[in-house]
Amino acid sequence: MNNKDNIFDRINDIMKKSVGIDYSKFEKPGIGFDYEAMMTDSGFNLKDIEKIQDEAMVGRTPFFELHNLTEYARKYAKKGYGARILLKDEAANLSGSFKARRAAISIQMAKKLGYKGVVAATSGNYGAAIAALAAREGLKCIIVQECFDSNNLAQPEILEKARACESFGAEVIQLSVGPELFSTFLKVLEETGYFNASLYSPYGIMGIETLGKEIAEQSMEKYGKYPEVVICTNAGGGNLTGTARGLKKSGADKTKVYGASVNLKGLHMASDTDFNRKSFTTGHTGFGMPFASNPDRSDVPRSAARPLRYMDKYFITNQGSVFFITEALAVLEGMERGPAGNTSLAVAFKVAQEMKRDEIIVVQETEYTGAGKHHQPQLSFAKKNGIDLIFGNPEDEVPGRNIVFPKSAKDLIIEEVSLERLQKSYLKRFKATTLTNQDLVYLQEELSINNEQLNRLLEEVKNTEESNERKK
């Protein structure tokens, strides 16, 4: 192994060799880069992506109404309200989640560029997807997984995903929580010369565009219109970004795209003590918030996942509400699906009650469930770690201390997150930067706001910082 102290000095070189992309050619003077040029540089269009996914047994998943959950939501809506809740069942993909769409394109690129193997740093469904599709194409696969706390305890969901990866013939490197994940990932890339199957490359996001396209086309075919709202469970932002891009490319440019995350406020994702005190390994605010306000914190120089460009609203819900709707989906619709994918369903259940009956809200993805990914093992693990499991007011839930289930669907909660708050957090990084006109245009695109809004937010950030300095 190369010296750990020097590995970070070689990041740019390692990334360039392992992703097959020269990110420097997209950089602009100042803070910005040409996002659309980066996304189209591969030469793929949506038809190309669909062909690759068809050959990989990925995509074209079922799309249907959850009739019983729709009627359940209407019980709590005023007269004339209660939108139809539709589901895009991504658990039908090879490997059991929408991540197979991303993996299909990454594996295709690895093969096209002549790599002998692929590496992915993930504790989630993406690892299983990469492992499954690498096996189909005869490529070696290494998954680097953040798994244990210092007591050598691992969440059942993460262990389940490791089992899935190994069943497809992948090598799984399991690490304790902390900074060693990224340094180990870099070392593996450098020493193997394998392809970096990053979630945040253009390939990873283009693979999701077909999901948005299918939702638009299937909705138009079945209902004669595009959906009013599509809700995406949000973590690193790629799911939402790719879906929104696919919707727009397919003509559904009026469809609103909402993000949904589990509220894990107060828990630090890199904390050894907090690691096993959460019951969700993805789709939570510990990823959703920081990746929205600083997308380039990912494992490539410029992330193709940029949710603030596409997010119309952002909601959070508590762990108890997601577990409640997971159980409701099983009992009312006969469908067992993993809790992380049901985060958007919990939000959709409440949002639908504020929409008209003839409107359509789409829950954009599901994930497989089984063994450790089932909600019952997750709850048992939480109880063993000292988390109180109680029925009551979900607003009383304190992540890391308890999980509060609503007593009825009427008590299920969601909370809208201020997009301006996230936009200001994004802008704080540039508070000491002299911004050019080109920079300002870039920021308007990044935050999906106009020049007047941008200037106001920049002024508010400046005033807040000055006020904080005076208080010191």
Give the tens place of pLDDT for each residue, 5-49: 678 888 878 988 999 898 999 999 999 999 999 999 988 999 999
Is the pLDDT higher at 372 or at 461? 461
Residue 5 burial (C-beta neighbours within 10 Å; 0-12, 13-18, 19+): exposed
The reported pTM is: 0.95
* 378 has pLDDT over 70: yes
> Span 169-182, mean pLDDT?
91
pLDDT of residue 136: 96
pLDDT of residue 9: 85
What pLDDT, in 10s, does the model give residues 203-237? 999 999 999 999 999 999 999 999 999 999 999 99
> Span 59-73, mean pLDDT?
98
57-95+203-417 and 4-47+97-201 share a CATH fold:
yes
Is the pLDDT higher at 181 or at 60? 60
pLDDT of residue 98: 96
**From 104-108, 189-193, 339-343, the region with the lowest mean pLDDT:** 339-343
pLDDT of residue 2: 47
Give the CATH architecture of domain 57-95+203-417: 3-Layer(aba) Sandwich (3.40)
Highest-confidence range of 38-42, 68-72, 157-161, 294-298, by mean pLDDT?
Answer: 68-72
What pLDDT, in 10s, does the model give residues 393-450? 999 999 999 999 999 999 999 999 999 999 999 999 998 899 999 999 999 999 999 9
- Taking the C-alpha atoms of residue 238 and residue 138, their distance in angstroms, rounded to an integer, is 27
What pLDDT, in 10s, does the model give residues 247-286? 999 999 999 999 999 999 999 888 999 999 999 988 999 9
> Percentage of the chain surpassing pLDDT 70?
98
pLDDT of residue 373: 77
The position carrying tokens 């089932």 is 374
Confidence band, pLDDT 50/70/90 cuts, at residue 123: confident
- Taking the C-alpha atoms of residue 328 and residue 85, their distance in angstroms, rounded to an integer, is 14
Structure tokens at 79: 């007269």
Q: What is the CATH number of domain 4-47+97-201?
A: 3.40.50.1100
Give the residues across from 142 on adjacent strands: 119, 171
**From 161-165, 355-359, 387-391, 453-457, the region with the lowest mean pLDDT:** 161-165
**From 42-46, 142-146, 229-233, 242-246, the region with the lowest mean pLDDT:** 42-46
Q: Domain coordinates of the chain in residue numbers?
A: 4-47+97-201, 57-95+203-417, 426-471
The position carrying tokens 């009383």 is 396
* 120 has pLDDT over 50: yes
pLDDT of residue 413: 96
* 464 has pLDDT over 60: yes
pLDDT of residue 372: 66
> Span 387-391, mean pLDDT?
97
* 340 has pLDDT over 80: no
> Span 99-127, mean pLDDT?
95
